Amino acid sequence: MAADLQARIADRLNERRANSLYRQRPLLGTAQGPEVIVDGQPLLAFCNNDYLGLANHPDVIAAWRSGAERWGVGGGASHLVIGHSAPHHALEEALADLTRRPRALLFSTGYMANLAAVTALVGQGDSVLEDRLNHASLLDAGLLSGARFSRYLHNDPASLASRLEKAPPDGASLVVTDGVFSMDGDVAELPALAQVTKARNAWLMVDDAHGFGVLGPQGGGVVEHFGLGLDDVPVLVGTLGKAFGTAGAFVAGSEALIDYLVQFARPYIYTTSQPPALACATLKSVELARHEGWRREHLAALVRQFRTGAEALGLGLMPSDTPIQPIVIGDSGRAMAWSRRLRGQGLLVTAIRPPTVPAGSARLRVTLSAAHTEAQVARLLDGLAACQALPELGNE
């Protein structure tokens, strides 16, 4: 007898609720920024990825408006039909220049960019090797590619080398890692990973969604941070909805790689292009990110302030020098309780639970922005101290 889908849906939803894993969408009533209104409540937010404070920048908004007046509000078709406009092309050139690569290719989302790159490059008979803590989009892309799928120990070049040795010699091998890991905030050991990968004639692909704009002298990300080149990291993916404050993503690489993706990457071929006005806005945000280095300097100072204060409180920080500063709580119910107590103090900090993070490592994911002030970070630390002073928080 066929399974009852309605009963399955109800059972799985009830299971999520019982295990403190049920997800709900907060309703944002303002533009992105440190001070927001969520579900009707004024809050000081420490949970978005607008690392450089550009999502509501007046110059970026003005670029969007002027772009919409000239180019309209829709892409109209895929890039290969009639959807590739002059702003799209100019943005690709700017991203290629930022990454010091011959070409870049725009996508509507980071998930699509990762899916496109992995599934176009490897398939049956090949191997894809991924860090155990990679973003879900990278893991899904590896599984959907049809290639032999393997996960090496987190940020462990020796584990990667061991798994590469077992890859079939007659197929291509693609190694995939995040640049900055989105839930832990640590940075990939790219120089060592690149050395291991090149020694075995494999390619390294880096998704630097959380590194672009933040790391590197000009915000070029983790590859610029380590001084690596195209030979070290042939496939570089970045998103535009985090430090750059807009939306979309890109793949940057050689002329041959981008030509290949245009021909064979299904998520690129069969998707309407992003609005040209969005590309106009992103061009401005990329310019601001590159040339306003004070944003990265201020952000780094806030990270140091937070870590110093959190360590003084004895909070369970992870080894991260990036704007992602997780506080490990462990139990999902306790993590939710901490988040609710903070919200009661006017502070918005999201609790991250399995399956997004490994079982037993539920956490408060604090994210900092160049738009925050030192006084606001001090307020967050005071709120955490107040939570810590209360009796043991259970599953309230």
Catalytic center residues: 182, 210, 242
Q: Is 345 helix (H, G, I), strand (E, B) or coil?
A: coil
CA atoms within 13 A on the CB side of 131: 27
* HEC secondary structure over 203-269: EEEEECCCCCCCCCCCCCCHHHHHCCCCCCCCEEEEECCCCCCCCCEEEEECHHHHHHHHHHCHHHH
Q: Is 350 helix (H, G, I), strand (E, B) or coil?
A: strand
DSSP code per residue over 104-117: EEEES-HHHHHHHH
236 strand-pairing partners: 206, 252
**How many CB atoms within 10 Å of residue 185?**
22
User: How many Å apart are CA 177 and CA 129, to the nearest integer?
Assistant: 9
Spell 328-342 as b/e; 16+ CB within 10 A means b: bbebbbbbbbbbebb
6 strand-pairing partners: none
User: How many Å apart are CA 23 and CA 353, to the nearest integer?
Assistant: 9
Please enumerate in sequence order all residues whose Cβ is within 8 A of that of 215, keeping only pairs 6 or more positions apart, or say none: 179, 180, 187, 221, 222, 224, 225, 322
Q: Is 349 helix (H, G, I), strand (E, B) or coil?
A: coil
**Does the bond joining 169 to the residue before it have cis omega, within 30 degrees of 0?**
no
Instruction: Tell me how far the alpha carbon of residue 32 is from its chain's centroid.
Output: 17
| Per-residue DSSP letter, 124 | T
Instruction: Tell me how far the alpha carbon of residue 343 is from its chain's centroid.
Output: 24
DSSP code per residue over 88-108: HHHHHHHHHHHHTSSEEEEES
